[in-house]
Amino acid sequence: MATHEVFAALADPTRLEVLSRLARGGPATATDLAAGLPITRQAVAKHLAALDAVALVERRRSGREVVYSFRPGPLDAVVEWVDSVGKSWDDRLERLRRQVEQAE
């Protein structure tokens, strides 16, 4: 999965909240996740479909219901990207620090 697709899925505050609930609370149905949110179960199901499209959730049938679980794997690429950006800024700040020290 492309990093930008994962970022796009996480950019929606409701999707981020749904994913956070799954990460903290474990597997749940769309009905379970809709409890306490200001949106319908159908809206939660659409957000879950978007998270499923980027493999951030796993679906499994349990009788008549679908249970969703958090899948952290796609976040690895996001973490790598954030680390690379952080390292780039660290390198820039180190060069700036050296220049300031030389100018003093």
Average pLDDT over residues 1-27: 94
Task: Show the tokens assigned to 10.
Answer: 């996480």
* DSSP H or E stretch at residue 45: helix 41-53
**Number of domains forming the structure of the chain:** 1
Could you tell me the residue range of the domain that residue 8 belongs to? Answer: 3-103
Question: 75 with 22: CB under 8 angstroms?
Answer: no
50-103 tens-digit pLDDT: 999 999 999 999 899 999 999 999 999 889 988 988 888 888 888 988 889 888
Whether the predicted pLDDT of 38 surpasses 90: yes
Strands 65-70 and 57-62, by their bridges, are antiparallel
Residue 13 belongs to a domain with what CATH number? 1.10.10.10
pLDDT at 1 over 80: no
- pLDDT higher than threshold 90 for residue 36: no
Instruction: Tell me how far apart the terminal alpha carbons of the chain are, to the nearest angstrom.
Output: 48
